[in-house]
Structure 1
Amino acid sequence: MTQMDEILKRPIAHRGLHNREKGVIENSKTAFAQAIKAGYGIECDLQLSGDGVPMVFHDAELDRLTRQAGKISSLSAGQIGRIKLTASKRGDTPQTFSEFLEQVDGAVPIVVELKKQNDARNRQLASAAVKAAKDYKGLIAFKSFYPGILSGVRAAGFSGPIGIIVTRVTSESKHFKEFSMLERLVMHNLLHYPQSRFDFISADHKALDLPAIRFLRKLGFPVMTWTINSFETAQKARPHADQLVFENYLPYRAPR
């Protein structure tokens, strides 16, 4: 069985098993602990601090998840690590990637999304993330929307699975302005493969019907799909994907 087969054996908790109403915040130590306890895989996000340390945090800005404004990239890892996540019952603060890896310690598979930085820092994030995971013994995969980041992961020496993230970008999409017309064409048709050399596809469940995704899955490329938040959505996605990235509901648990 391949590493990817092992990663796809169980559903993957999107940013951990979080529940804001109960004081368990996304991408927090508590959310990850609950995912581990339940036996789910974990998906997390990485941003790069001002001093070049990968931080487990989704947004480029602090204000949605903390009471502090500003960019992650304007602060050091030490400063970020002292900022409380708003509404966290246990007073969680953002972890470094190394701290997160130490917490999980191989208990469940990990899928790590590398978030886009400015051009000069994309490769820096990829390199720093691979360096942090160099001696990690558990199952781990990296993924990104951006082919250049994936090629940076390979260039840094990572030999495990890497995946491309795909969504259907239309004029109504919140991400529309982030992509040029050419970039949308390339993404929807996965024309960047010679650069990205991805091993799996991480597809928005609303994009599972894209012809390129259907075709490559038939060729043997595994497909995980996000973000599944109900049994009904899971039932629709299941025939077209090999595993679910979920939140706000609990899918079946895979046996350990």
Structure 2
Amino acid sequence: MNLTFDRPVAHRGLHDRTAGIIENSAAAFRAAIEAGFAIECDLQLTADGRPIVFHDDDRERLTGRTGAVADTSFEEMSSIPLLDSAAGDCPMQFADFLALVDGRALLQVELKHQRDEEGTDRLARAAAECLADYTGPVTVESFDPRLLVLVRKHGFSGPLGIITYDYDPEGHHSTLGEEQRFILKNLLHWHETRFDFISCAKNALDLPAIRFWRELGVPVTAWTIKSQAEADAVASACDQIVFEGFDPRD
């Protein structure tokens, strides 16, 4: 598969909280499109099984409301304004997000880890169904190999990406067993996921598995780059950056 990331990828859209443009909001996505960037976004699943563009499992940081997204109806989620949004943006249904973008930017859509197998399958199915009629350039990615397998099973035929990092035992995924971390760190799930690209943490680009697959021609995007100095530092080890907090055009 000939996959080219020819533009920097705006992490959760081109957001700027100080300007009232909140991550994963319509304003952030419009700003990214207008600036000519690709877009990364996140998908969670509401209690009634609808995919919504939202990063956190919990609502509090972005809406000021307590409770899990998975325990909240879509109607409620989509009516809560995002904190500090100048436009009063609310979390978007995935279908509405796709209609807004309408093929004007390459998409990296991250399917977020769900708390049980049923939710994992429902999110993969819902995402695939929404993307079935979308004609713009789009990729799907996840930390969870199961989500890649399932979204393909449910009909998504576009490029798939595995998101990875160094899987430090003290890190975010510290609850995983040693064998699981080893498999994920070394991308040993390829025979199941058949990923088309890798989205790698900026401090893990020198991992042997990342270098191996890149040498074989698999594109690598690096996250999350927060300055031009960081972009310059990773330029030789990746094919594109996923950025926030600065303008890589400057």
CA deviations over 1:144-182 (Å, ceiling 9, x no partner): 001111000110111110000011121442x13242211
How many residues are matched?
A: 249
Q: In structure 2, what is the equivalent of residue 33 of structure 1? A: 30
| 1: CA distance, partners of 2:125 / 2:206 | 33
The 5-angstrom pairing of residues 214-233 of structure 1 reads 214-233=211-230
| 2: CA distance, partners of 1:20 / 1:244 | 21
CA contact (8 A) 2:163 2:200 kept: yes
Q: In structure 1, what is the equivalent of residue 192 of structure 2? A: 195
CA contact (8 A) 2:52 2:91 kept: yes
Identity %: 47
Between 1:91-100 and 1:113-122, the stretch displaced more is 113-122
| 1: CA distance, partners of 2:151 / 2:194 | 11
The structure 2 residue matched to 1:60, chosen from 57, 61, 68, is 57
Does 1:135 pair with 2:140?
no
The structure 2 residue matched to 1:212, chosen from 192, 209, 213, is 209
CA contact (8 A) 1:27 1:58 kept: yes
Give the drift of 1:247: 0.2
Q: TM-score, normalised by structure 2?
A: 0.97
Name the SS for the 2:162 alignment partner. strand
Q: TM-score, normalised by structure 1?
A: 0.95
The 5-angstrom pairing of residues 1-256 of structure 1 reads 2=2, 4-5=3-4, 8-117=5-114, 118-173=116-171, 175-252=172-249
| 2: CA distance, partners of 1:144 / 1:176 | 14
Name the SS for the 1:131 alignment partner. helix
CA deviations over 1:76-115 (Å, ceiling 9, x no partner): 1111100010111110100000000000000111110000
Name the SS for the 2:61 alignment partner. coil
| 1: CA distance, partners of 2:238 / 2:36 | 20
CA contact (8 A) 2:42 2:110 kept: yes
- The one-letter amino acid of 2:75's match is G
CA RMSD, aligned part only?
1.2
Name the SS for the 2:92 alignment partner. coil
Q: Flag the 1:178–1:252 CA change in 2: closer, same or farther, 3 A.
A: farther
Unmatched runs of 5 consecutive residues or more in structure 2: none
Runs of 4 or more off by more than 2 Å in structure 1? 176-179
| 1: CA distance, partners of 2:229 / 2:84 | 30
CA contact (8 A) 1:13 1:40 kept: yes
Name the SS for the 2:161 alignment partner. strand
CA contact (8 A) 1:11 1:252 kept: no
- The one-letter amino acid of 1:23's match is G
- The one-letter amino acid of 1:18's match is H
| 1: CA distance, partners of 2:183 / 2:233 | 26
Give the drift of 1:132: 0.5
Give the drift of 1:190: 0.6
CA contact (8 A) 2:168 2:174 kept: no
- The one-letter amino acid of 1:161's match is P
